[in-house]
C-alpha cells in the first residue's frame, strides 16, 4: 500500500563517497508464472502447509493460546465495562486497545480491522478513528532490515539505486512498509515498498488454524452449507499473491491496461528494473485519502464525484472484464491534486468468470424490476443454490428482502443490509456461498463504506443501473440477449414499461451510444439468434400500429362530430385502455430517444434509409405488412359475417 504524506517529509541524500557513479545492473521484467513455479512456497498450497504444521503441534497450540488469551481478556474487559455502566462505544481507551490487539495478533487480523475501518454504519466513530490507523500507521520494522531486503532483492545497496530515500517509512501496513525516494538513474520520484520479515510464517500458521476450524464447522454444524474451506482457500491464495511483489507489479500493469483509460482514473507506473519478490518500486503519487473530504474540498475537487468514478470503475471491474481490486480501502484510493482517483496496492486482486459476470448483471436487473422468480434462478446460475432445490418458497422470501431496494439510500438500505438479510435466508433455505463470492462482497462492502462516509444519501443502485441497462441493450453476449428477452417479454406479451425503464436509465451512462444500440438491435433482430424476439416483436408492432390507426380514426371522427355535426359515425374505432397504455409508453420512449445523447435528426434520416435497404429489415417489414394484411382481412370477413347475421335476424 502506498500513500503520500500529509505533512512535509524529510528526505536524506544517499550518495556514498566511495561508490559515486556505481552502475546498477538493470533487471528485466520476469516471467511471473515460470518464476513462481521455480520458487517453492510462493504459491498457496493448503496441503503442503498442513503437512508442515502437523509435525509441529506445540507451535500450533502456542499460536492458538497467543490469539485466544488476549481476545478473551479484551472481551472480558468490555463485558466488565458494561457492567460498571461505562459506555464502551464512546471509550477511546478500549478503541485504542482493540487496535493494538489486532496489530499484535498479526497480518490476518489486521486485515479484519482494515475491513471494519471502512464501515461507519457498523463501527462507532471512536473505534473507526482508531481502526483507520491500521490502513497505513502500523509499527514499522527497522530500516536496517528493509535496506538488507533491498540489497538482497535488487542486487545493489539502496544508495546505489536511490539518490534519496526517506529516513523513516512514510506508511506501514499489514504486509510491508513504504519509503519515499528518488531514482538515481532518472531522477524520478518513487515509492519503495519493502515486505515485512517472517511474513510467510506468520500468515501460514493462522491460515492453517482457521482452515482447520472451517473444516470442523463444515463437518459438524449441519446448518453450515457453504464451502467455508473453499472460501478460506480463496482468501489464502489472494494473501499469498499479495506477498509476491512481482505478482503485484503484473497486476498493476494489467489493471492499467484494462482501466487506465477510464476518465479520471490514474494507475501508477511500475519500475521493473528495481522490483523483485520482496521489493516493489513504483511511481510516487501525491494525493490525499478519498475519505479526507475537507482536504479534497480545499483543493477544489468534488469527493462525491470521485465516489461515482470509483463505483463506475468497479462496475467495469466486476461486470465487464472480471479482474477487480479486492482491497479498495481508503489507504489504497488517493485523490490527486488534479482531481483524479488513483488506485494503489494491487497485491490483492481477483477474477470473476464470464458466466458469473452475466449472472450478476441479470440479478441486478431482476432486483430492480422486482422479478424475484428470475432472481431465484440467478442464484442457481451463480452456484448459491443447487439446480434440484425447490424455488417455490424462496421467491416470496426474496420479495421480503428486496421489497424496498430501488431508490433506497446507502444509509438506509445498502449492500450490508442486503447481505445481512440474505444471511438469515441462508440459514432457513439450502443456500451455499461459493468461494469466489467472498472477495466480491469484501470489495463492494469496502467501497460502499467509503461512500457512506462521504455522502450518506449515496444510492448504489441508482449509480449502477444505468451501466447495467447499457450492457443489456448493447452487449451481444447470448446470455445477456436471453436476459433481455426474458425482461421484455412475459407470457407472450411485450412489456413496454420495461423497455422504457431500460432506455431511461441507459441514457444516464456516459458510454451509452444510441447509434450502436440501433445498429446492434437491427443486426440481432434480423439474425437467426433473434428469431424468437423478432416473432414476438412483430406481434407487438402490429398491435401498436393497429392501436395507432384506431386512435387516428377516432380522433378524426371526433373532429368531424365537433366541426361538421355528423352523428352517424360509430365508435368502433375507439381504442381499449390497454391499447392507450401502449401508445403512451411508445410516446414516452420516443421522447426518451430524442433526449438521449447522440440523437441527431440530421443523421437519423440517412441512417433510416440505410436500415430500409437492409435485407433483414426488409424481411422484417414484409413480415409486419403480412401480419397487418392478415389482421385486416380477418376483420373484414368478421364484419361481413356479422353484417349478414344482422340482416338474417331482421328478415326473420
**Measured distance CA(282)–CA(260) in Å, rounded:** 15
**Measured distance CA(37)–CA(28) in Å, rounded:** 18
Cβ proximity of 254 and 323 under 8 Å: yes
From 241, 327, 383, 475, the catalytic residue: 327
202 φ/ψ angles, rounded to the nearest 5 degrees: -65, -40
Q: Which three cell numbers stand for residue 409?
A: 439510500
Q: What angle do CA 298, 300, 302 make, to 5 degrees?
A: 105
**Measured distance CA(254)–CA(346) in Å, rounded:** 10
**Measured distance CA(195)–CA(17) in Å, rounded:** 29
The span from the first CA to the last CA of the chain, in angstroms, equals 96
- Return the half-sphere exposure (C-beta side, CA atoms, 13 A cut-off) of residue 150: 24
Q: In what order do the strands lie in the sheet with 288-289?
A: 265-266, 341-343, 333-335, 288-289
Q: Is 639 a catalytic residue?
A: no
Which of helix, strand or coil describes residue 564? coil
**Measured distance CA(348)–CA(332) in Å, rounded:** 11
Cβ proximity of 547 and 583 under 8 Å: yes
Cβ proximity of 389 and 430 under 8 Å: yes
Instruction: Give the ranges where 55-142 is alpha helix by DSSP (H).
Output: 57-83, 92-105, 107-116, 125-132
- Sign of the C-alpha dihedral computed for residues 491, 545, 645 and 567 taken in this order: positive
For residue 392, the tally of other CB atoms under 10 A from its CB is 9
- Sign of the C-alpha dihedral computed for residues 341, 346, 352 and 354 taken in this order: positive
* Beta strands in 330-376, from DSSP E residues, in sequence order: 333-335, 341-343, 349-351
**Measured distance CA(166)–CA(486) in Å, rounded:** 60
Please report, for residues 358, 390, 552, the alpha-carbon distance to residue 486 in angstroms, rounded to integers and kept in the order given: 14, 21, 32
State how beta strands 349-351 and 323-325 pair: antiparallel
For residue 252, the tally of other CB atoms under 10 A from its CB is 25
Instruction: Give the ranges where 402-456 is alpha helix by DSSP (H).
Output: 415-428, 435-454
Please report, for residues 21, 279, 440, the alpha-carbon distance to residue 154 in angstroms, rounded to integers and kept in the order given: 17, 8, 35
Q: What angle do CA 243, 245, 250 make, to 5 degrees?
A: 120
Please report, for residues 115, 292, 313, 421, 462, the alpha-carbon distance to residue 409 in angstroms, rounded to integers and kept in the order given: 21, 22, 20, 16, 9
For residue 466, the tally of other CB atoms under 10 A from its CB is 21
Computed on alpha carbons and rounded to an integer, the radius of gyration of the chain in Å comes to 32
State how beta strands 493-494 and 323-325 pair: unpaired
Q: Which three cell numbers stand for residue 218?
A: 463444515
Which of helix, strand or coil describes residue 30? coil
Decide: residue 20, CB within 10 A, 0-12 exposed, 13-18 middle, 19+ buried: exposed
* H-helix or E-strand spanning residue 4: none
Q: Which residue numbers are catalytic?
A: 327
Amino acid at each position: 500500500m502506498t500513500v503520500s504524506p500529509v505533512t512535509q517529509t524529510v528526505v536524506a541524500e544517499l550518495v556514498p563517497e566511495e561508490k559515486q557513479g556505481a552502475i546498477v545492473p538493470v533487471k528485466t521484467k520476469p516471467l511471473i508464472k515460470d518464476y513462481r513455479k521455480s520458487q517453492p512456497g510462493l504459491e498457496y498450497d493448503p496441503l503442503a502447509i498442513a503437512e508442515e504444521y502437523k509435525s509441529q503441534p506445540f507451535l500450533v497450540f502456542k499460536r492458538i493460546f497467543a490469539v485466544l488469551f488476549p481476545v478473551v481478556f479484551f472481551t472480558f474487559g468490555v463485558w466488565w465495562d458494561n457492567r460498571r455502566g461505562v459506555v464502551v462505544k464512546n471509550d477511546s481507551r478500549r478503541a485504542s486497545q482493540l487496535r493494538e490487539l489486532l496489530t499484535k495478533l498479526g497480518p490476518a487480523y489486521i486485515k479484519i480491522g482494515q475491513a471494519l475501518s471502512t464501515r461507519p454504519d457498523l463501527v462507532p466513530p471512536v473505534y473507526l478513528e482508531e481502526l483507520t490507523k491500521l490502513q497505513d500507521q502500523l509499527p514499522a520494522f527497522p530500516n536496517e532490515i528493509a535496506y538488507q531486503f533491498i540489497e538482497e532483492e535488487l542486487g545493489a545497496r539502496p544508495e546505489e539505486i536511490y539518490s534519496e530515500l526517506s529516513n523513516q517509512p512514510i506508511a506501514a501496513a499489514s504486509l510491508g512498509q513504504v519509503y519515499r525516494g528518488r531514482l538515481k538513474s532518472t531522477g524520478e520520484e518513487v515509492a519503495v515498498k519493502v515486505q515485512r520479515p517472517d511474513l510467510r510464517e506468520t500468515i501460514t500458521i493462522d491460515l492453517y488454524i482457521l482452515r482447520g476450524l472451517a473444516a470442523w464447522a463444515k463437518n459438524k454444524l449441519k446448518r453450515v452449507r457453504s464451502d467455508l474451506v473453499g472460501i478460506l482457500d480463496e482468501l489464502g491464495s489472494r494473501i499469498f499473491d499479495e506477498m509476491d511483489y512481482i505478482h503485484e507489479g503484473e497486476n498493476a500493469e494489467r489493471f492499467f491496461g484494462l482501466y487506465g483509460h477510464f476518465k479520471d482514473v490514474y494507475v501508477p507506473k511500475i519500475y521493473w528494473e528495481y522490483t523483485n519478490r520482496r521489493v516493489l518500486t513504483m511511481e510516487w503519487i501525491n494525493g490525499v485519502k478519498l475519505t479526507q473530504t475537507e482536504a479534497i474540498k480545499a483543493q477544489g475537487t468534488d469527493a462525491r464525484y470521485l465516489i461515482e468514478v470509483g463505483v463506475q470503475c468497479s462496475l467495469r471491474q466486476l461486470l465487464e472484464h472480471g479482474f477487480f481490486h479486492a482491497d479498495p480501502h481508503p489507504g489504497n484510493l488517493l485523490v490527486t491534486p488534479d482531481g483524479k482517483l488513483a488506485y494503489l496496492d494491487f497485491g490483492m486482486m481477483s477474477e470473476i468468470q464470464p458466466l458469473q459476470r452475466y449472472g450478476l448483471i441479470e440479478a441486478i436487473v431482476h432486483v430492480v424490476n422486482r422479478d424475484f422468480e428470475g432472481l431465484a434462478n440467478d442464484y442457481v446460475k451463480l452456484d448459491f443454490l443447487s439446480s434440484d432445490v425447490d424455488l417455490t418458497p424462496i421467491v416470496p422470501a426474496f420479495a421480503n428482502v428486496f421489497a424496498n431496494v430501488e431508490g433506497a439510500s446507502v444509509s438506509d438500505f445498502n449492500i450490508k443490509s442486503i447481505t445481512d438479510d440474505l444471511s438469515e435466508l441462508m440459514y432457513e433455505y439450502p443456500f451455499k456461498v461459493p468461494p469466489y463470492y467472498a472477495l466480491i462482497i469484501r470489495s463492494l462492502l469496502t467501497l460502499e463504506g467509503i461512500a457512506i462516509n462521504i455522502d450518506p444519501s449515496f444510492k448504489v443502485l441508482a449509480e449502477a443501473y444505468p451501466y447495467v441497462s447499457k450492457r443489456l441493450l448493447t452487449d451481444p453476449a447470448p446470455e445477456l440477449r436471453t436476459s433481455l428477452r426474458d425482461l421484455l417479454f412475459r407470457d407472450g406479451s411485450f412489456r413496454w414499461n420495461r423497455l422504457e425503464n431500460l432506455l431511461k436509465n441507459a441514457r444516464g451512462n456516459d458510454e451509452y451510444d444510441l447509434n450502436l444500440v440501433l445498429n446492434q438491435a437491427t443486426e440481432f433482430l434480423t439474425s437467426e439468434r433473434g428469431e424468437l424476439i423478432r416473432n414476438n416483436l412483430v406481434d407487438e408492432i402490429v398491435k401498436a400500429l393497429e392501436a395507432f390507426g384506431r386512435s387516428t380514426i377516432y380522433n378524426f371522427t371526433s373532429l368531424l362530430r365537433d366541426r361538421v355535426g355528423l352523428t352517424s359515425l360509430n365508435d368502433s374505432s375507439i381504442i381499449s385502455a390497454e391499447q392507450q397504455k401502449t401508445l403512451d409508453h411508445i410516446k414516452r420512449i420516443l421522447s426518451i430517444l430524442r433526449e438521449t445523447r447522440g440523437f441527431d435528426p440530421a443523421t437519423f434520416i440517412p441512417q433510416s434509409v440505410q436500415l430500409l435497404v437492409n435485407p433483414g429489415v426488409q424481411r422484417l417489414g414484409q413480415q409486419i405488412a403480412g401480419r397487418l394484411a392478415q389482421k385486416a382481412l380477418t376483420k373484414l370477413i368478421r364484419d361481413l359475417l356479422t353484417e349478414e347475421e344482422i340482416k338474417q335476424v331482421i328478415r326473420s
